[in-house]
Amino acid sequence: MNKGSRIFVAGHKGMVGSALVRHLASRGYHHLITRSRQELDLLDQRAVADFFGQESIDVVLLAAAKVGGIHANSTQPASFLYENLVIETNVIHAAFTKRTPELVFFGSSCIYPKYCPQPIKEEYLLTSGFEQTNEAYAIAKIAGLKLCEAYNRQHGMRYISVMPTNLYGPNDNYDLQNGHVLAALIRKAHEAKMNGLRSISVWGSGSPRREFLHVDDLASAVLALLDSDNAEGTFNIGCGRDIAIADLARLVCDVIGFQGSLDFDSSKPDGTPRKLLDVSRLSALGWTPTISLRDGIAATYADFTKNAQRTGYVDA
């Protein structure tokens, strides 16, 4: 990949896609191709095929997906399975048809089995059962990963799949029903502080452990993979450290300045007990994250308060 490469960032308005655009632009890549959902519906196979026929694309970064937290995944399984399957098959097949030489497919650490040995290696995929709350999403993402593997094996393509850990950062979804845990905690702690509340509710027992990576670190990792001649197959992307949800909630409150208590709602699901990725494959290529969790939360909170009214979170 060079500075003149024509790079299609699918899902450029989302948290991951916007980070990719920011990082690529800052590194001098000036042929970035983006389309809004109104301009290109990735669920429309004919429209996607026509788009690839009209554009000369060198690299596809397939960050477009239907995503959400535990509540969204467990209450909308048909939507998560169908939409993700259709988006990835449309884009990956169209890229292959036009012989697009490079593609990065974005999966997620939640596709691994519920009771995986820790830290989780790439080869642990499909060794046991899923976490039920996100089974539909996991199945769809595994299908995309396997489709990339199939085109590589049958047709000699160089399509890479990345499995990021839990992500956070600018343009996250702060919806309390459909967002992910760190974004929800930021919003809850902020609103509690602004409204003088004495406590905030945290879903689950607080005991599950999760690994968190700032989305700008993810973008730099993807570029490192594309710059490497040795990057093939599937790569976990994470920081190699995890934290209990209870401790994460305390850290968020400390950064934001909320001094109240935490009420853990054990009627809500915990999800997978632990998810810590083995990132040795990626580390062997020389990449390491640079943004600490505290610094990343502080920067994300600043972005949240700056954009709260625009995004509809009006209590900022």
Catalytic, out of 29, 112, 137, 301: 137
pLDDT tens readout for residues 159-169: 999 999 999 99
Dihedral angle of Cα 218, 223, 228, 233, to the nearest 10 degrees: 50
- Cα(291)–Cα(170) distance, integer angstroms: 14
Structure tokens at 228: 């490497």
Mean residue pLDDT of the chain comes to 93
Distance between CA 314 and CA 307 in Å, rounded? 9
Q: What is the pTM of this model?
A: 0.93
Is residue 271 marked as binding?
no
180 appears as a binding residue in the annotation = yes
In contact, 289 and 214? CB cutoff 8 Å: yes
Q: What is the mean pLDDT of residues 281-287?
A: 95
Angle at the Cα of 186 (from 287 to 138), degrees rounded to 5? Answer: 60
Active site residue 137: yes
Rounded Cα gap, residues 273 and 67, in angstroms: 20
pLDDT at res. 311: 55
Instruction: Please give the Cα distance from 10 to 5 (Å, whole number).
Output: 15
For residues 282-300, average pLDDT: 97
268 annotated binding-site participant: no
pLDDT at 132: 85
* Segment (H or E) for 233: none
Q: Is 71 annotated as a binding residue?
A: no
Q: Is 93 assigned to a binding site? A: no
Report the C-alpha gap between 256 and 190 in whole angstroms: 7
Domains, in order of start, for the chain:
7-311 (3.40.50.720)
Q: What is the mean pLDDT of residues 242-249?
A: 98
- Report the DSSP pairing between strands 209-210 and 243-244: antiparallel
**Calpha distance 21→241 (Å, rounded):** 27
Q: Could you read off the pLDDT of 7-61 as tens digits, one per residue?
A: 999 999 999 999 999 999 999 999 999 999 999 999 999 999 999 999 999 999 9
Contact 239, 165 (CB under 8 A): yes
204 is in an annotated binding site: no
